[in-house]
Amino acid sequence: MDATTEPSTQWVGLGVLLVFLAALVSGVSTFVNFYAVKGTNSDAFVTVRNLATAVFLVPVALVSARTLRAPLRRVDWGRLALIGLIGGAIPFLLFFRGIELATAAGGAATATFAYRTLFIMATVFGVVFLRERFHWRVTVAAALILGGNLLLLSLVSPLWTNGTLYVLVATLLWAGEYTLSRRVMRDLPSGTVALGRMGFGACFLVGYLALTSQVSAVASLTGGQWEWLLISAVLLTAFVGVWYAGLQRVEVGVASSVLVLGFPITFLLSIAFQGSAFTLAQVAGAVVVAAGVGLVVGRSQFRATWQYLTGATLTRPSV
């Protein structure tokens, strides 16, 4: 490998590995949240969980901040606050409220499918605002990913509810925030951006609870609900930590496409632990989604990941 290209290859290879790990954590987290949020006030649940996540991220941010060449500027604080608002606050409220409304109306599957369009939105934002490259294979991959998700979900009526709109808006905000975060991480470490997202987001959420007189809902959480909430917070911390480190290294369209793998992972966990029935069409859907993601990532980035792994193995010091 040429010495001048090795750092770039290693950088991308690590990034691809991290976003795949983030997809795994996301799939597990979605499965856990099904139990964690049950019976709670979703606004209170999201606020406390995100606040705990911000606290857990402080050590990560302190380590990451060692790479800062200068103190944060006023514009940096402003960008972090915006990331917190549109990534760590509003979309969380909209998403969980949307899932509640859609489930009550019998349209949870459709609302979930709306979230799976995040990679399309993020790809468009990346091309328009970050000048990322658009590959022809993305169009084919998008058809595979969406088609695979349709097979997995087995959509039934109603195909549209108010909850679906909430989830769609939340998805749009997250796509915009991921694009902004990738731009900001050209100047700031990923750990700083991750803490900014969750820290400022938690501050906005606490203010929202106070304005809507829902602070008492936090006190009503039971011991069992607190246990689930902390498990969910640990998983969210793991996701945010690896996701932003990966997003810093990989194009936002590619990274968000890999995140779609979280859905088949949740599907497999439902089969393993809930005894959920599955059809051949759903199995085919999971395979098609994986094929679509592989097409987006592409051979060169898989090669970079392999080179990173083998390089890490070869240079690992002996004990």
Q: How many CA atoms lie within 13 A of 148 on its CB side?
A: 26
Reduce the secondary structure of 261-314 to three states and give it as a string. CHHHHHHHHHHHHHCCCCCHHHHHHHHHHHHHHHHHHHHHHHHHHHHHHHHHHH
What pLDDT sits at residue 319? 30
pTM above 0.75, yes or no: yes
Q: What is the pLDDT along the chain (319 residues), one digit of tens a residue?
A: 333 334 478 889 999 999 999 999 999 999 999 899 989 999 999 999 999 999 999 999 998 888 777 789 999 999 999 999 999 999 999 999 999 999 888 878 788 888 999 999 999 999 999 999 888 888 899 999 999 988 887 766 677 888 999 999 999 999 999 999 999 999 999 999 999 999 999 999 999 999 999 999 999 999 999 999 999 999 999 999 999 999 999 999 999 999 999 988 988 898 888 877 778 888 899 999 999 999 999 989 999 999 888 885 444 433 3
The C-alpha atoms of residue 111 and residue 155 are separated, in whole angstroms, by 10
Burial 266-304 (b: 16+ CB within 10 A, else e): bbbbbeeeeeeeeeeebbebbebbbebbbbbbbeebeeb
Instruction: Write the CB contacts of 66 (distance below 8 Å, at least 6 apart in sequence).
Output: none
Burial of 108 from C-beta contacts in 10 A (0-12 / 13-18 / 19+)? buried
DSSP 208-249: HHHHTT-THHHHT--HHHHHHHHHHHHHHHHHHHHHHHHHTT
What pLDDT sits at residue 3? 38
What pLDDT sits at residue 157? 62
One-letter amino acid for residue 93 of the chain: L
Contact 229, 221 (CB under 8 A): yes
What pLDDT sits at residue 209? 97
10-53 confidence digits (pLDDT tens): 889 999 999 999 999 999 999 999 899 989 999 999 999 999 99
